[in-house]
């Protein structure tokens, strides 16, 4: 079974509390574009992420989350002057901090910046076809023109709330020349 491979560019998720500080009390995120994962969307709202060396403007993904999390590539992290850990989404304990600047206020975070571990979202039905289970670590071969690549250390995330797709950060996708619609296949467990 082939798996759609998507590039997950730098972005952040915010809590209700931080959204109120950054954009004003009661502000509502506006949907710019639905994403492949059900219920997830890119918003029109952006904030500036400030590190010790630099700053980058990033889009917020909705809906609101229980904790604020900034997902960057290692190239982005270098531009910010940060050395974030590679983590699964949601695992920000002990990670780097930064400052977020919005149109109405600023938030100083002591943690929350990660490089997302490459991963495959999958439904339980597709997981059965693929022969994988939640939290398996697999290898995925991605065939592209002149840059076919095998990615190791890919965590499988299984939920009935997901659509089946692999997510790479911008550095990984660029290295493999993932342009347009690209597919991969699990080759090892």
DSSP string, 27-93: ----EEEE-SSTT-EEEEEEEEEE-SS-EEEEEEEES--SS-EEE--HHHHHHHT--PPEE-TT--T
Q: How many domains does the chain have?
A: 2
Q: Are residues 50 and 105 both part of a single domain? A: yes
Indicate whether 158 and 183 sit together in one domain: yes
Whole-number percent of the chain with pLDDT over 70: 99
Asked whether residue 61 is domain-assigned, the answer is: yes
Final residue of a domain: which of 116, 136, 165? 116
* Single pTM value for the model: 0.94
Is 70 domain-assigned?
yes
- Which residue, 68, 97, 116, sits at the end of a domain? 116
- Residue range 149-183, pLDDT digits in tens: 999 999 999 999 999 999 999 999 999 999 999 99
Domain residues for the domain of 158 are 119-188
Whether residues 140 and 106 fall in one domain: no
Domain boundary among 96, 116, 136: 116
């Amino acid at each position: 079974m082939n798996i759609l491979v998507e590039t997950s560019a730098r972005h952040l998720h915010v809590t209700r509390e931080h959204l109120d500080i950054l954009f004003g009390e009661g502000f509502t995120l506006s949907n710019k574009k639905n994403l492949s994962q059900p219920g997830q969307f890119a918003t029109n709202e952006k904030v500036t992420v400030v590190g010790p060396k630099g700053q980058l403007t990033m889009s917020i993904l909705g809906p609101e989350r229980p904790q604020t999390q900034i997902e960057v590539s290692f190239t982005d992290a270098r531009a910010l002057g940060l050395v974030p850990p590679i983590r699964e989404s949601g695992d920000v304990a002990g990670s780097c901090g930064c400052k977020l600047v919005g149109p109405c206020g600023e938030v100083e975070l002591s943690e929350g910046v990660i490089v997302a571990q490459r991963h495959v979202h999958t439904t339980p039905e597709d997981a059965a076809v693929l022969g994988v289970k939640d939290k398996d670590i697999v290898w995925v071969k991605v065939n592209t023109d002149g840059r076919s690549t095998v990615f190791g250390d890919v965590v499988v995330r299984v939920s009935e709330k997901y659509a089946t797709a692999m997510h790479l950060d911008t550095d990984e996708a660029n290295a493999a020349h993932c342009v347009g619609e690209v597919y991969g296949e699990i080759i090892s467990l």
